[in-house]
Amino acid sequence: MNKHFGSFDEFYPFYLGEHRNRRCRLLHYIGSVLVLLMAGIAVTSGNYLLLLTLPLIGYGFAWAGHFGFEKNRPATFQYPFYSLLGDWVMLKDAVTGELDAKLKQLQPQPRR
């Protein structure tokens, strides 16, 4: 089902609903942190070809979480920009301690 979101604020609850599994979120966080580390290494070393690995690192960990634990299709396929932004906002929410409250506000998952 294709949903239309008029803003990131409308999208983010949907995004969080696609990331209810703690292990999936952990893989997202690992990928995001490794992306930052690799970007830093690329810039400080002057080896800018390393920047080509960033999508593989970030999406590789995230997609492994979706296919392995969440058992859903990554939102990246339908909403690439909002999904990328969602990764960073979700990481920020986890670091600041806001994520649990936001996850509790979600509607219950439908039974399959």
Residue-wise pLDDT tens digits, 37-77: 999 999 999 999 999 999 999 999 999 999 999 999 999 99
Domain annotation covers residue 111: no
Domain annotation covers residue 38: yes
Mark residue 79 as left, alpha or beta (left: phi above 0; alpha: psi -120 to 50; beta: remaining): beta
Arithmetic mean of pLDDT, 10-21: 96
Confidence of residue 111 (pLDDT cuts 50, 70, 90): low
Domain annotation covers residue 81: yes
**Structural domain containing residue 64:** 10-104
1 has a pLDDT exceeding 60: no
Domain annotation covers residue 18: yes
Domain annotation covers residue 2: no
Q: What's the CA gap between 15 and 31, in Å, rounded?
A: 17
Q: What total number of domains does the chain contain?
A: 1
109 has a pLDDT exceeding 70: no
Alpha helix ranges (H) inside the chain: 8-17, 22-45, 54-65, 80-96, 99-104
Instruction: Please give the single-letter amino acid code of residue 26.
Output: L
Q: What's the CA gap between 99 and 16, in Å, rounded?
A: 9
Arithmetic mean of pLDDT, 93-98: 98
